Structures are given as C-alpha cells and as structure tokens.
Structure 1
Amino acid sequence: MSFKPSRVYASLVDQSNTPSNNKNQGNPRPKTSTEIEVTATAEARQVPNRANVTVVVSSRKEVAAEAKNSVARRTDYIFQALHTFQVKEGDVSRTDSLQREDGLYVMTTELLVTFVDIEKCLAVTNLLVEKLDDSVIITQPDFHHTPHSVEELRKQVLIKAVSNCRQKADNIGLLLGQVVGQPNKIIEEYTKEWEGPETAPTTERIGKSLTMQQRIANATVHVKAKVKINFEMMAKEKAKATTR
C-alpha cells in the first residue's frame, strides 16, 4: 500500500457573530471566537493479494487405467511443486472426471489453486510451464483482493486524510500563534474507489494480450478520500488556562 501527497485547504471562521453562536448563547459549553476549517485529501493504492490459477491435466488412452496413471503422475508432480512453495492443501480444489470419447477413455484432473503470495504464484506457474508438456493447460493468474484487505485500505485512507487535516491545522495555528483545540465537526465529503491502472494502457498494447505487470495493474485498487474538519482555535494563554 502506498500513499500519495495530499491536498489541503484551510479557512478561518469567526464564530462570534454566526447565527449558530447567537442561538446557543444559553449553552453552558464555552465558545471560542475563532474556528479553523481544514479540508484534506488522501489517496492510496494496493496491488492484489490473491491469485487464482487453474491447471488442467488430461490423457486419452484405450485403457482407463493407463489414462488415470498418466494424469496421476503429472498431478503428483504439480502437488510436489505446490508443497515446495508452501501452498496449503486448503488452497487447492481438485476435480477428477473420467469420460469416453470416440472409443477412448479421457481422464481429466482440474486443480484450482489460490495463491496468497503473488511472487510464489508466478514462480510456480513458470516452473510448471517449463517442466510439463503442452498437454497440461495452465491459465493466466486471475488477480483479486480479499474483502478484508480492501476494507482496511479504505480505513487507512480515511485515517490519513484526518491526520493530514490535523497536521495542517497545527501548522497554521503555529504560524498564527494560536493553539488548535478539539474538532467541532468532521465531515467525510467523499470516498472514491476504483480498480485498474492510473493511466490508460499504451496504444501499442491495445488489441494484444496484456503483460503480467499490466494484469496486476488492472487488478490494483485505488482509494481516495476527502474530509473536512472544523477545529477550535485558542490563544496560547487561553489554552494554558483551559488545561489547568
């Protein structure tokens, strides 16, 4: 996950003559004469953290046992490779089927492998392509995110936007010789989320198969949030008296 620089806006609001201040004059809560309104954005992106790969092993023989043995040998090798790269058994789904076509027995084993590490996924698929013949079908990785990872990304972006607001408010207060107090109002103006590359694909790749980096970029999630916070502003002397 990576963050982009935020954009921050701020304005000072005199609360002494606002209608809301006049209406609440009977409120025992002490009012400050100045309030600062800060708007900030934060943006982050996250590459996919899951990849699904389907491996199909098949054999056509006149004798069913021979077809089964041919598929079993290659399937055992695939499981050994997955074990070497510490892929858990629970992340592999297996389906076996035996059919008859044109007088031959057709044995097919289909493995659906879910990788929790993208680098391991690429290493395993590269190894299988190298070691197995072209009768074994290995699909391109289907990259995606777990719901928890996307939700965590949204939270981190909102927290970063709020932190940016507070930091900039403190900087402005320091410049003006005042102390920033508690927030009076926090508004989440928007949260945008999209999946795909930040820029459009280059024209020379249009109509052609995507590279692996482009496939990962297409599955990368971006989140951008904008918040607006109103903080109390107090003179340093008043702030010291309040904390006593």
Structure 2
Amino acid sequence: MSKENNITVTKDFRRIENGYQMEAEICVIFSDFGKMEDFCNLLVEKLDSTVVVGSPQFFHTNKTMENIRRQACLRAVSNSQRKASEVCRLLGQSLGRPLIIREEETKENESVPSEPSTPDHTRPLTIQHQINNASMTVYSKVFVIFELKSKDNCKRNN
C-alpha cells in the first residue's frame, strides 16, 4: 500500500439539522490478498458499524499479464527442451544448443464464471468464486529447433 496512486478517497459532506455528516468512500488497490483481508478486518474491528466493507473486485494489471505471458513462453521453451532431450536419449544422441526459437501463438482464456451454489441465485458469490472468475490461463505455442550431437562426438570433445 505504499503507492498513493493505489488509493482513491471520495468524501461527501451533508448538513443534517444542527450538524454535519461526512461519508467517505476509500478504494484501495491491493496486490496481496492477505493484506487486503487484514486491512478490512482492522477497519471493521476499529470502526465497528460505522464502516461498510464492500466486496473486492479482482483484476490483472497490464504488467502482471505481460509477466504471465512471458512466463508461459519460457515454460513452453523449457518443456520443448525437456522433450527433445528425452527423444535424444532414446535415439542415442545428445541435445545441443537451440538454433531457432519462435513463439508462434499465445492464447489467453478467462475462466468461465461460476454460478452461486443456491438455486435462486440470491446469495452473492463467495470470495473463492470471485477469485476463480477472475483467473486467467495463458497458453504459449513455440517452435524450437535444437542442434543434435552424437554421443561419440561429445565424449571426444571432453
């Protein structure tokens, strides 16, 4: 919560009889779900019935999505290297350096919204349902060509 641009405060003042009433809405963006829970619990504990904590809204920032895409590509390359290495062992070869690495396709799938467990749909979604609904799956398809070396050449070079 160190970044001030992650906090928005809206205040509303009203005159009521001989006094004033202030309502404030505070929107905070958290990147850690546990910290958000702790903060909400603290507010409710300290301010009791004078505070209403709304339901959280979950989303992925552009930076997070970029990082997830990059990680998906890196894992796809790692998986291709592991599979190629297994094929090389089967054929009595050893795997050399990658000659070509090309990301061919990236897909992003949002999870399918889950329905509330009550048949009348009157009960709001649980936090876990909301998290599941905001989850993303990223697929990365890569094309990789590796150099192959015979095991005899590897032994001679060492």
Both structures adopt the same fold (TM-score exceeding 0.5): yes
Give the direction of change, closer, same or farther, for the CA distance of 1:113–1:204 in structure 2 (3 Å limit): closer
Which structure carries more strand by proportion? 1
The whole-number CA distance in structure 1 between the counterparts of 2:144 and 2:3 is: 49
Counterpart among 87, 103, 114 of residue 201 in structure 1: 114
Cα distance in 2, alignment partners of residues 92 and 141 from structure 1: 14
Q: Give yes or no for the alignment of 1:93 onto 2:4.
A: no
What corresponds to 1:185 in structure 2? 100
- Following the alignment from structure 2 to structure 1, what is the Cα–Cα distance between the partners of residues 27 and 116? 33
Cα displacement (A) at 1:215: 0.9
The alignment status of 1:114 with 2:29, answered yes or no, reads yes
| Aligned counterpart in structure 2 of residue 227 of structure 1, from 139, 142, 148 | 142
Q: Which one is further off, 156-165 or 173-182? A: 173-182
TM-score (norm 2): 0.76
Structure 1's unaligned 5+ residue stretches are 1-86
Post-superposition CA distance 1:178-215 (Å, at most 9, x none):
12233333332321112336xx6257346241001111
Q: 1:185 to 1:205 in 2, by over 3 A?
A: farther
Give yes or no for the alignment of 1:145 onto 2:60.
Answer: yes
Greater relative contact order: 1 or 2 (C-alpha under 8 angstroms, separation 6 or more)? Answer: 1
Q: Matches of 1:131 and 1:202 in 2, distance apart? A: 34
Higher Rg of the two aligned structures? 1
* Alignment match of 1:237 (pick from 148, 152, 155): 152
| Unmatched runs of 5 consecutive residues or more in structure 2 | none
1:124 aligns with 2:39: yes
Note closer, same or farther for the CA distance 1:196–1:127 as it changes in structure 2 (3 Å cut): farther
Task: Tell me the residue number matched to 1:79.
Answer: none
- CA-CA distance at 1:150 after TM superposition: 1.9
CA deviation string 1:94-136 (max 9, x = no partner): 2323234799744222222222321121232234345545453
TM-score by length of 1: 0.53
Distance 1:196 1:129 in 2: 31
The number of residue pairs the alignment matches comes to 155
SS in 1 for 2:55: coil
Corresponding residue number in structure 1 for 2:131: 216
- Indicate yes or no: 2:73 matched with 1:158: yes
Q: CA deviation at 1:161?
A: 0.8
Q: Is the 8 A contact 2:9 2:27 kept in 1?
A: yes
Q: CA RMSD in A?
A: 3.0
Secondary structure in 2 matching 1:138: coil
Distance in 1 (alpha carbons) for counterparts of 2:24 and 2:149: 72
Q: How far does residue 151 in structure 1 lie from its aligned partner after superposition?
A: 1.3
1:62-116 CA deviation, whole Å, 9 max, x = no partner? xxxxxxxxxxxxxxxxxxxxxxxxx447243323232347997442222222223
In terms of fraction of residues, the more helix-rich structure is 2
Structure-2 separation of matches of 1:102 and 1:109: 20
